[in-house]
Every structure is written in structure tokens, then in C-alpha cells.
Structure 1
Amino acid sequence: MRIRPYNFYAGPAALPIEVLEQAQAEMIDYKGIGMSIMEISHRSKEYEEIHNEAQQLFKELLKLPAGYKVLFLQGGASTQFSMIPMNFLSPGKTGNYVMTGAWADKAIQEARKFGETVIAASGEVNNYMEIPSISDIQVNPQKAAYLHITSNETINGSQFHSFPHMDHVPLIADMSSDILSRPIDASQFALIYAGAQKNLGPSGVTVVILQEEIIRNIPAHLPAMLNYETYTQHNSLFNTPPVYSIYMVNLVLKWIKQHGGLAGLEKRNTEKAKLIYDAIDQSGGFYTGMVKPNSRSLMNITFKVHNEQLEKLLLQKANAEHFIGLEGHRSVGHLRASTYNAVPYEACQALADLMIDFQKRNG
């Protein structure tokens, strides 16, 4: 039997084995219909049940109040970088962004193509290894169309542990890499978006959770596929949605519910991350975490070895022992362990053990 690797890829990322097994069992014949879910119409009752159930599971897990819609789009979070200013950044208003790293920067660069943008706070002074303090975020509420944050920077490994609140300024968040990893007060947000391929399922679908009030004044001239109203009015069925990706998201949401919901996952994710952070912090400088402790991510743990040659040797040893995805992003280098919801506790324990053993042998 082929060994299943310890998967620490940053995305596409690990999926729960139970979900993969169910998808495998239903691949050719979905619930006795004699066909795969990929082969049937998105207007069929079988698919619409999956679609609507997934939306309802999001509402349940996030405890969404009335007045929110769950949408399924395509194009990844990168398309949302453009859609947000296209839909909400009107003349005379400003798009306000907290600059926390590479993904926040991509959102800012797209917004500048459509209107005036303001950096409301920046972590540049700390090389983006610390999230700006909430108290440092400066927004002019008279001019602000919205305030945008990236809740978790996948590349740097930094994460917001609390969220800003500005009276009368809609809060928008890219939660691609930490959505549904912990309980949040979703009512703080006017819009949340996330590519699925880290915590929700495979790539191909982007989830957008929005407050209906925010779409009141969307410009009428926008292309249909780049207008949020198109998706709210047609229940994300204006065109053929990414059927199989949404089916997989549905299975993952059920898995989350079965594992204690967001509170259960937060406990599990905290315990997983602690194993690796403890191996770093208790190493006496052999390993160094790259993010300041007050901004550390539970999803993406970035660190380095004190010696470059030893770092390469550790990666070689890890690869030989079936650990994959531990190379840091090319723009940052060093090491990164992505410990998303579906990464098992055992994988994190194995990585921590590997790190401790490697230090003993090479310290």
C-alpha cells in the first residue's frame, strides 16, 4: 500500500481523508443515479440540493445573521481583488487597505486600477512579520467606501487575531487561508471571500459571503459576471457553477460540523500549531520563527534554521521521510508548514518530532 505523505502544502492543500473516501465512493454513481455528480445538469434536483445545503452549512457554521448571502463564484480570490473595487469603489470615495504582505499588496494593486486607494495601516516597517495594531488603522469614514484586510498572510505566516471595527465603514476580508478555522463574529463583516483550495475544498470555486445591504448601489454598467447582484439574484446559478468543487466543499463543511464546528477546529488547530511552535521556541536558537509571536498564524508556520546548509539538509531529510510542501514561498524562502483544518494532528506531531531529532543530531 502506498504511503500517504505528511502534506504541508500551502494550497492546493490537504483534504480530509474521510471526504476523499466519500468522494471516491460516489465518483461514478452519486446516490444511485447511475452517474457522477460531474455529469448531471446544474439545474437538476440532485445538484441543487448540494448547492443549497452548502450555503446553509456556511450560514450555520458561521452563525450568520439574517441579511447575508452565500455565493459561489469562479476566478479565485484574485478575481475578487478586482470585483470589490469595481462594485464598491465609487468616484469621490476611497478603498482603504491594511497592508500586511504579498496578498494584501495584490489586492491594493488591483484596486488602484479602479479608483483612489489609501493604505490605512502597514506592516512594512517590520518587514510584514507583524500585523499592524488595530489602533494604528486610520480611516476617514466620510470618504471610505470600505476597509479591506487580509486575515491571514499565507506567505509570511501572519494572522489577525482580532478585527478592526469602524463605524459606518464596511469591513471586507480576504479569508482564503484561514476561513472556518476558528469562530469569528461574521456580523462584523460586510463581505468575506475565500478561494476554496486551502480550508474548504479543491480549487475551482470561490466563496463570497456578503451582507445584502452592501450591494444596493452597485453600478449598472458592470459586466454580468463581475457584478455581485448577478449572483445574489440567481443564487449563483446564472451560469454553470463549478459543480464538483462545490460538491467537495459541501462534504468538507459536513466534516467540519462533525468535528465540533469552528470551536472544535480552533482547539485542534491551536494544539497542532503549538507542537511546531514549541519545537521552534524551545530550540535555543537552532530554529527561529519568522513572525513576531503576537501575529503568528495558526495556518502557516514560517521558520528557519540558523545555518543555511543545515536548512537544506533538514528539507532533504523531510522529503526522504515523506513530508511534502515544507519549502517556504520563493519570495521569502526558508521553511513553511501549512497546518490547515484537514492536516492531521499526527502530521504536526511527526514534524515536531523530526525537528527535535534533527536538532539533537546537528545542534
Structure 2
Amino acid sequence: MPPRSDVHYFGAGPAPLPTNVLEEASNVLLNYNDRGVGICEISHRSADATAILDNAKAALVTLYNIPTDEYEILFLQGGGSGEFSAVVYHLVSYWVAKRQAIATEELRLAVADGKADTGVDVNKMVIERLKREVHDELKLDYLVTGSWSLKASQEAARLVGAEHVNIAVDSRVANDGKFGKIPSEETWNVVKRKREGGPGSAMVYLCDNETVDGVEFPGFPKSLESYPEDAVDDDAPLVVADMSSNFISRPIDVRKYAVIFGGAQKNVGNAGITIVIVRKSLLPPVAKMASPELLRELGLPVGPIVLDWPTIAKNNSLYNTLPIFDVWVAGRVMAGLVQSHGSKGIAGQGEIATQKAALVYGALDKYPAVYRVVPDQSVRSRMNICFRVGGESAEKEKEFLQGAEQRGLTGLKGHRSVGGIRASNYNAVSMEAVQKLVQYLQDYAQAS
């Protein structure tokens, strides 16, 4: 059995973790804080568990410079796929509640001004109006740039109906039926509120980094930045980002997003928890949510309580039994980044990620007769480097993978849905590992 130091793992997730965190974890699994019991055995409602949650939140706040008066941090289960559903349940409920408040006030004023019969049942009229608005105007925008945003849009269609899902961009249209590009923002068909009236979409959904297809947004879309200026009555669509595979890998402006979420098993920790950063204005007591009874009357889904952000927030992420060990691992990983990069913060990690990715892409581009990078150069992911070998020859790619294994370079096989090779360049992948991969890329190309 080879020692851990001789194996360099490039798997897409679960991904490698820092060795020092795993070594510390092996101790706390047996005896946490000299309690005589392991961390997996302590109560999730204990003072120790609360401290673990607080420490993980504090590290994330430091890394992303999160304004804690404006945003709530939640830890829950269900993975990124669970949040595909949660964002729909929550933001559709929020959209309906806003429309309900507007309709109620307008009809109340109409009765008071004598423009409507004082004997009318305002509540009944509100329901009828909401039914029309849901039917005619409820939309959720999806930027489909890869396999995961496509799955998210499909889950939204399953929950609320395809008629309410607006595919604002489908990258396959611009790339011969395959993912690998992000079309120009001028071509996006995002539902915006018109100044003459009518609400916009309930949200705009994007996957910041597509793990399967190796596509990453270079930055926050400029066309979405204009929404606050274009908005009427605070009806700007809310930007939701799935950052599962590039979480804490570069600086972001959290304030530009309504919701950010990510499964932990790429850059943050082991599989088992999902982190959600959500604007407090979308949560009670600031925001009102539509009641389950109203949603059912409107033919809209009511979500499970374990995915309900207001419930999770109210209970400090401890409504049900949270895997505290998983939170501890994530907290230790994030605290390690805080310590490593000091005043640079997450920008320091961003520089390293960019440098590592540039080395790999440089080696691939140097031998175009042997390697073909899958995504367009303008949207190449720093995290998931997808390429083909030998003109997409299955035999050549098998040969390439076997040669890599012999050098201790593992986890390089592409996703089963697209094939090819994928080198995932997550935070815990060392510079040494990348340099050994680059050497192998050069050696293989020269021998081909």
C-alpha cells in the first residue's frame, strides 16, 4: 500500500482534504476536547457543538468578508441537489408573499376609495388575483451552462411546472449541442420587470462552476449587476449561485448575491453538509413567506421542513441532527485558509488556484496534436480541467489513465456522462501534485 504522500488525487468530489486536518480528525474521532468520547458521539445541542458551528461560521465570514448584519449562514443536509429544490420552495414562497401583500393593499385602498364594492370579500379577490399572477407571471430564470445548472432547471420544472421555468440561456445552442461556452450576455433572455409594470422573475439561477463540463464564470455577470438600478419597487430578480465546486477558491462580492450555496465535498470538507449564505431580507422576521395553505391553493409545492431556510435559521442550523463532525472538518479547513493567507484572505487562495490551473492548461496547450481542452478558453474552469487525449480515442485515454496511475496520479477519469479526462484542481491539491501532473502531460505527449 503506497503512503499518502506518494498519491496525488485529482478526483472531482469527494475531493482531497488537507492531510493535517485528517490527522487532527483521527484524534477527535476518538476523544474530543478530552471529553472521553469522540466528536461523532457528542450531542448536536451541546456547548461543544455550538462552538464548532460558531467557529466554522467565523472562518467563512473572514474568508468572504460576509456582512453578518445582512447575511445568514446555514449548515444543513441534502447536498447541492437538495438546494436545487430549496431555492425554488423558498423564493417562490417569497415571490407569492410579496404579490399577496401588494394585492391586499391595492384592493383595500380600492374599497376605501369607493372604487370597489364594500361588500366584496377582499381575501377571495386576492386569491383570484394571485392565481392569475402565478399562471401568467411567475418565472424562474436559469442560466444553463452545464450539467448541474441543467439539473437544477429540471428540478424547478418538476416542482412548479416547466411553464414557470425560463431558460434564459442554454449554452448548448451556441456550441453545437454541447456545453463548453457561455454565450454573450447580450443574448441572455432574463425576465426583467418593465417600467410600465409587471413583476420580473422570482430569481436568476447560475452554477458558478460546472464540475462536469469544466466551465466557470470568469466573474459576476455584468448584466445582472444593473438590476438594482433597473428595478422598480424592489422587484429586481434575486441572483442565486451554486458554488459547490469553486467555493472559497477566489474572492467574491457576497452582496451581489441573494443566495450562495455549496456542497462541502469539493473545497470545504467531506460529504455530508451543505453551506447556504442567504440574505437576511429574504428570511423572517424581515420577509414574509406565503403560508402552506396559500401555496396549496395556488397549486404550488410546499417544501419539506428540513429544507426550510427560516426554520433552519431560527434553530441555528440545529432543527434536526446536524453531522457536527462534518461541520468541524469544514471549520478546520476554512480556519487553515484564514491562517495561511493572513491579510490577503481568500485572494491568496485565488492566486494559487489560478497559478496551478495555468500550469496545467499551459502543458495541454503546448501539445495540441495530443490534447484538446474541452471548454472554450474564455470560460475554462480553474477547478475542473476537462480535456481529451488522442482525438477522443477511448484506447488512448485508457492508456493515459493507466500511465497516470503508475505515477500515483489518480482520480483523473472524466465524468461518466461526458468521458475524457478531468483534473480537479481543488484547494487541497498541492502545487507538488500539479507539477507532477504537468510533467506527466509533457512526458506522455513527447512519447506519443
Q: What is the TM-score with the length of structure 2 in the denominator?
A: 0.78
Superposition deviation, residue 310 in structure 1:
2.5
Alignment-derived partner of residue 363 in structure 2: 279
Deviations 1:294-334 (A, max 9, x none): 10000000011124233221111111222111111111111
- Letter paired with 1:337: A
Alignment-derived partner of residue 324 in structure 2: 243
SS at match of 2:260: strand
Q: Distance in 2 between matches of 1:145 and 1:357?
A: 51
- Letter paired with 1:237: L
Determine which structure has the larger helix proportion and give its number: 2
Q: Distance in 2 between matches of 1:179 and 1:233?
A: 25
Alignment-derived partner of residue 348 in structure 2: 264
The answer on whether the counterparts of 1:77 and 1:206 sit within 8 Å (CA) in structure 2 is yes
Q: Distance in 2 between matches of 1:62 and 1:93?
A: 32
SS at match of 1:38: helix
Runs of 4+ aligned residues of structure 1 deviating over 6 Å after TM superposition are none
Alignment-derived partner of residue 15 in structure 2: 13
Alignment-derived partner of residue 210 in structure 2: 153
Indicate yes or no: 2:204 matched with 1:120: no
Superposition deviation, residue 33 in structure 1:
1.5
Q: Distance in 2 between matches of 1:30 and 1:152?
A: 36
- Letter paired with 1:218: M
Alignment-derived partner of residue 226 in structure 1: 307
> What RMSD in Å do the two structures reach over aligned CA positions?
1.4
Q: Distance in 1 between matches of 2:139 and 2:84?
A: 15
The answer on whether the counterparts of 1:148 and 1:171 sit within 8 Å (CA) in structure 2 is yes
Superposition deviation, residue 231 in structure 1:
0.9
Alignment of 1:27-38 (within 5 A): 27-38=29-40
- Letter paired with 2:318: L
Q: Distance in 1 between matches of 2:87 and 2:397?
A: 40
Give the share of equivalent positions with the same residue, in percent: 38
Q: Distance in 2 between matches of 1:286 and 1:270?
A: 23
- Letter paired with 1:2: P
The answer on whether the counterparts of 1:280 and 1:288 sit within 8 Å (CA) in structure 2 is yes
Q: Distance in 2 between matches of 1:32 and 1:8?
A: 35
- Letter paired with 2:328: Y
Deviations 1:321-356 (A, max 9, x none): 221111111111110000101111111110010010
> In structure 2, do the counterparts of structure 1 residues 284 and 79 end up closer, same or farther at CA, with 3 Å as the change threshold?
closer
The answer on whether the counterparts of 1:285 and 1:306 sit within 8 Å (CA) in structure 2 is yes
Indicate yes or no: 2:74 matched with 1:71: yes
Indicate yes or no: 2:340 matched with 1:253: no
Indicate yes or no: 2:416 matched with 1:341: no
Indicate yes or no: 2:110 matched with 1:107: no
The answer on whether the counterparts of 1:134 and 1:163 sit within 8 Å (CA) in structure 2 is no
Superposition deviation, residue 284 in structure 1:
3.6
Q: Distance in 1 between matches of 2:446 and 2:402?
A: 17
Alignment of 1:133-212 (within 5 A): 133-141=184-192, 142-164=199-221, 165=224, 166-167=227-228, 168-212=236-280
Unaligned ranges ≥5, structure 2: 97-133, 193-198, 229-235, 293-301
SS at match of 2:202: strand
Indicate yes or no: 2:438 matched with 1:352: yes
Q: Distance in 1 between matches of 2:188 and 2:38?
A: 49
The answer on whether the counterparts of 2:71 and 2:277 sit within 8 Å (CA) in structure 1 is yes
Unaligned ranges ≥5, structure 1: none
Superposition deviation, residue 224 in structure 1:
2.2
Superposition deviation, residue 74 in structure 1:
0.4
- Letter paired with 1:132: P
Deviations 1:121-145 (A, max 9, x none): 1211212101233333232232310
201-210 or 114-123, which deviates more: 114-123
Alignment-derived partner of residue 85 in structure 1: 88
- Letter paired with 2:140: G
Determine which structure has the larger strand proportion and give its number: 1
The answer on whether the counterparts of 1:87 and 1:219 sit within 8 Å (CA) in structure 2 is no
Q: Distance in 2 between matches of 1:358 and 1:224?
A: 52
210-219 or 345-354, which deviates more: 210-219
Q: Distance in 2 between matches of 1:326 and 1:2?
A: 18
Q: Distance in 2 between matches of 1:21 and 1:345?
A: 20
Indicate yes or no: 2:64 matched with 1:62: yes
48-57 or 196-205, which deviates more: 48-57
Superposition deviation, residue 34 in structure 1:
1.5
Deviations 1:237-281 (A, max 9, x none): 111111111111111111111221311111111111111101101
Alignment-derived partner of residue 196 in structure 2: none
Q: Distance in 2 between matches of 1:110 and 1:284?
A: 38
- Letter paired with 2:366: Q
The answer on whether the counterparts of 1:302 and 1:336 sit within 8 Å (CA) in structure 2 is yes
